[in-house]
């Protein structure tokens, strides 16, 4: 689809041309919304998950991280202690070392720290394992979980805009959370969930994202992307973070993204490329088709 005032098209030579009367988006408008709002929206989303599933480890871990990030140590401690209780109940001893350290780091002199430490020490003793003091320096286990905070924020925004009802919102959040733990080779995004679930409001969502973010909608199928463009970003950006450099104007990169509110991604791209970037919105189906073509092109170049 084309999105009203956000339309773009490619010329016969493959270079991007704005339709008559349109201009490149004002970058100051692109970054009006604060990245901190993503944290609060993620908090709202995961607290709703906990209301339905009080022992969800992903939700608890995300919430203690989120509150720690915004400096609310009391709430962060509350959730990390709750996470330790869930892990103890599951009989999973491996994370207890770093949880012990995290409780101390976050809680400091808080009265809850001593009781939480004693609970972990007792549990390890009952399991016949060393106490945290006798363990090697605790390290947080690196998981395969994808950071979906910006996607949860997007889902929240869509519900607030009446583009998702409560049931649809819950489905999207659950799918995002589940998919974030799977070894997928496509980005974990709200758009992909809507497409996979064949939800009927996808066009309205795209139109809203285009207009609200002021990012033009681009159709990647209209472009023959040169390897000199798509290789500017690593495959991690393409397969997991939802960004493809699809063309260049001089030394400036034109980048298609799936979530216009993922400001951390935009910052990371500009830092990685060390050049000025212009960002465009793309829909998930179009993105995946182009990603598959890029994979095929990469394989052909290797063989």
Question: Over the stretch 74-112, which tens digit does the pLDDT of each residue have?
Answer: 999 999 999 999 999 999 888 898 899 999 999 999 999
Which of residues 135 and 209 earns the better pLDDT score? 209
With the C-alpha atoms ordered 23, 27, 32, 36, is the resulting torsion angle positive or negative? positive
**Residue 229 C-beta-side C-alpha neighbours within 13 Å:** 24
Average pLDDT, the chain: 84
Calculate what percentage of the chain has a pLDDT beyond 70: 83
Q: Kindly provide the residue ranges of all beta strands, DSSP E only, lying in the chain, ordered along the sequence.
A: 8-10, 16-18, 243-249, 252-257, 277-281
Calculate what percentage of the chain has a pLDDT beyond 90: 54
Q: Does domain 4-19+213-302 have CATH number 3.20.20.150?
A: no
Residue 35 confidence (pLDDT): 57
Question: Over the stretch 247-293, which tens digit does the pLDDT of each residue have?
Answer: 999 999 999 999 999 998 999 999 999 999 999 999 999 999 999 99
Yes or no: say if 147 and 69 are a contact pair by the CB < 8 Å rule. Answer: no
Lowest mean pLDDT, pick from 21-30, 197-206, 281-290: 21-30
* Whole-angstrom distance, CA of residue 83 vs CA of residue 64: 9
Mean pLDDT across 6-18: 42
Residue 24 confidence (pLDDT): 36
For the chain, residues classed under CATH 1.25.40.10 are 36-134
With the C-alpha atoms ordered 181, 187, 193, 195, is the resulting torsion angle positive or negative? negative
For the chain, residues classed under CATH 3.30.300.160 are 4-19+213-302
Residue 143 confidence (pLDDT): 45
* Whole-angstrom distance, CA of residue 63 vs CA of residue 45: 10
Residue 183 confidence (pLDDT): 83
Residue 136 confidence (pLDDT): 56
Q: Does domain 36-134 have CATH number 1.25.40.10?
A: yes
CB-based contacts of 289: which residues, under 8 Å, 6+ apart? Answer: 220, 221
* Whole-angstrom distance, CA of residue 25 vs CA of residue 217: 11
Lowest mean pLDDT, pick from 119-123, 132-136, 195-199: 132-136
* Whole-angstrom distance, CA of residue 213 vs CA of residue 38: 14
* Whole-angstrom distance, CA of residue 245 vs CA of residue 15: 13
Which pTM does this prediction carry?
0.67
Yes or no: say if 256 and 220 are a contact pair by the CB < 8 Å rule. Answer: yes
Mean pLDDT across 130-151: 66
């Amino acid at each position: 689809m084309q999105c009203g005032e956000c339309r773009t098209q490619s010329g016969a030579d493959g270079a991007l041309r704005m339709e008559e009367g349109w201009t490149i988006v004002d970058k100051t408008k692109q970054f009006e919304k604060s990245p901190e709002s993503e944290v609060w929206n993620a908090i709202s989303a995961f607290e709703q998950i906990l209301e339905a599933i009080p022992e969800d480890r992903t939700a608890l871990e995300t919430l203690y991280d989120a509150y720690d990030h915004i400096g609310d140590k009391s709430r962060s401690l509350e959730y990390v202690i709750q996470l330790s209780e869930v892990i103890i109940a599951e009989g999973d001893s491996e994370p207890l070392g770093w949880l012990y350290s995290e409780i101390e780091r976050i809680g400091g002199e808080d009265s809850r720290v001593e009781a939480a430490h004693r609970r972990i020490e007792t549990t390890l003793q009952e399991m016949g394992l060393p106490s945290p003091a006798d363990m090697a320096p605790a390290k947080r286990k690196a998981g395969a979980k994808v950071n979906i905070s910006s996607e949860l924020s997007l889902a929240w925004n869509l519900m607030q805009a009446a583009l998702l009802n409560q049931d649809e919102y819950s489905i999207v959040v659950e799918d995002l959370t589940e998919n974030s733990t799977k070894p997928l080779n496509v980005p974990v995004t709200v758009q992909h969930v809507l497409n996979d679930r064949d939800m009927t409001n996808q066009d309205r969502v795209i139109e809203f994202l285009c207009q609200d973010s002021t990012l033009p909608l681009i159709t990647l199928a209209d472009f023959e992307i040169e390897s000199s463009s798509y290789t500017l970003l690593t495959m991690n950006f393409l397969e997991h973070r939802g960004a493809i450099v699809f063309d260049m104007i001089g030394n400036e990169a034109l980048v298609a993204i799936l979530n216009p509110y993922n400001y951390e991604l935009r910052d990371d791209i500009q830092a990685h490329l060390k050049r000025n970037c212009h960002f465009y919105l793309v829909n998930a189906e179009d993105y995946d088709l182009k990603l598959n073509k890029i994979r095929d092109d990469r394989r052909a170049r290797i063989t």
